[in-house]
Amino acid sequence: MYQLPIIVGEYPVQCTCPQCKAQIVTRTEKKVGLFAWLLCGIMVLIAFWICCFIPFCVDACKDTEHYCPSCNTLIGAHKKL
Ligand SMILES: [Zn+2]
């Protein structure tokens, strides 16, 4: 097992893959995380329930996961919360 380096960014970063030791630029994936759920909850509370689905459609509200493009190992994650 290896320690996941903490990646604090929403955009792909250049690093060495801990799994295949290749010099790579991470592939990022957006995941619906706690932040999007929280935003949804707040919108429901203040009667914006019509648009409470928006946090799930807007990438800026989602968490970002970084994967190695050659071996698909999860390298790090950027969480909104
Ligand atoms: Zn790799």
C-alpha 16 to ligand 1 mean position (Å): 8
pLDDT at 73 over 80: yes
Q: What is the mean pLDDT of the chain?
A: 85
Greater confidence (69 vs 45) lies with 69
Is 4 a residue whose pLDDT tops 70? no
Q: Is 39 a member of any domain?
A: yes
In a domain, 7, yes or no: no
For residue 50, tell me if it sits in a domain: yes
Give the pLDDT mean for 4-28: 85
3 within a domain of the structure (yes/no): no
Q: 21-58: per-residue pLDDT in tens? A: 999 999 999 999 899 999 888 888 887 777 778 888 88
Mean pLDDT calculated for residue range 62-67: 92
Domain that holds residue 21: 14-78
Q: Tally the domains of the chain.
A: 1
Q: Tell me, yes or no, whether 2 lies in a domain.
A: no
User: Ligand 1: distance of its center to the CA of 67 in Å?
Assistant: 8
User: Measured between alpha carbons, how far is 40 from 61 in angstroms, rounded to an integer?
Assistant: 10
Q: Residue 64 corresponds to which tokens in the numbers above?
A: 């970002």
- Residue 4 placed within a domain: no
Q: How far is the CA of 26 from the centre of ligand 1 (A)?
A: 9
Q: 40 C-alpha vs ligand 1 centroid, how far in Å?
A: 35
Q: Considering the domain boundaries, does residue 67 fall inside one? A: yes
